[in-house]
Chains A and B, each alone.
Chain A
Amino acid sequence: MSVEEKITFLEEVMEIDEGELHIDDQLDDIEEWDSLTKLALMAAIKKQNDKMITVDELKSFQTVKDICDYLE
């Protein structure tokens, strides 16, 4: 996936409007970055890559870029 595709994917997971999310956004500043989003992200990654993301990995994400770097 390109960076743009990853951001679009994250916008879908977070259920936020297209173009609202930016690569340098801090996750703590995004209201939609909550435990439900983490669950949706976990489920989406499992579906796409058959890979289980751990809580330690989730906790290490500080910015949108960190998640994009994680996604393949």
Chain B
Amino acid sequence: MKICEIKDKIRQFKKINLKIETNFYFGILNDGQEAEVFENEKALVFIVQEPNRIRAFFAFAEKNSLRELLLKIPSGTVMEYIHKEQENPLEHIFIAGGMEQYAVFLRRTFCYSENPYTIPETGRRKLLAEMYDPSCGEYATDRDVRELYELDRENFDVLCDGVFDLEQWKQVVSNQECLLYRENGKIIAFYVFRLQGKKLYCNRAMNLGPANYLYNLERRAFEEVWDKGIRIYYAWFNIKNRRALKRINPEAYQVIKSIGIIYNSIYIKK
């Protein structure tokens, strides 16, 4: 069944059931894309082939009906659910439907009143500011696409990290959304970012070297958009990646006006 037909089904489903829960947002998939559908009176689950995984979406009005459908989807299917609470309120249904938690991501959105890089660093982090070189790194070009693609696959998990395919990397490079740093000809750090309206989104970052390489790239990107009036920054972090979570200058919290947090729980069918 095509996604546009599934959208019609969900609209109908909403009319009949009034209140439904879903992890599907219109616009997330192309209307012409094909999906396999599992449905009953009170729930609908559909699975689509993504470049690196099979992904499930759902809409339901009654929990047990969703559980029944989840039991039918193929082993290895991945499902994501975004929630505000630290604990996923639907987890017990997913588990009863034969899913198991694979990863949990945390999205932090910071709204700054001042440039956080002007706040002096303390402790070991002092070196980062002392060694900052705004000319460090370069924007990725077409010749870097294959190397970035391979590094991405080596260092991230294709099931949950949103690893790019070659076409996506070409797009990122053509949009000038990737800064990288080389040593002896090899890429050892990259930082992928995107301006989304008034927000700077850190899409992914990798660093195989000392901390200042990534710090330099991130700060360079941040200060370029800061000068254009961008004050909101966000990124997703795997909650197990403690090193990434503590990368912010602790002193810079004083210039954060607000912090928004949401979670994305990722499950895989057993």
Chain A residues in contact with chain B, CB under 8 A? 15, 34-43, 54-56, 58-59
Contacts and interface: CB of A to CB of B under 8 A. Distances in A.
30 contacts: A15-B123, A15-B124, A34-B243, A35-B207, A35-B209, A35-B211, A35-B243, A36-B124, A36-B125, A36-B127, A36-B128, A36-B210, A36-B211, A37-B124, A38-B209, A38-B210, A39-B127, A39-B210, A39-B211, A39-B212, A42-B210, A43-B127, A43-B131, A54-B183, A55-B188, A55-B208, A55-B209, A55-B210, A56-B184, A59-B208
Interface of A is mostly: helix
Contacts of A37: 124
B59 interface: no
B214 interface: yes
Nearest to A44: B127
Contacts of B123: 15
A58 B209 contact: yes
Contacts, number: 45
A35 B214 contact: yes
Interface string B115-128: 00000000111011
A13 to B, nearest CB: 9
A34 to B, nearest CB: 6
Contacts of B209: 35, 38, 55, 58
Nearest to B243: A34
B207 to A, nearest CB: 6
A37 B125 CA distance: 10
Q: Which one of B125, B184, B188, B209 has the highest number of Cβ atoms from chain A below 10 Å of its Cβ?
A: B209
Contacts of A15: 123-124
Contact of A38 (B128, B183, B184, B211): B211
A9 to B, nearest CB: 15
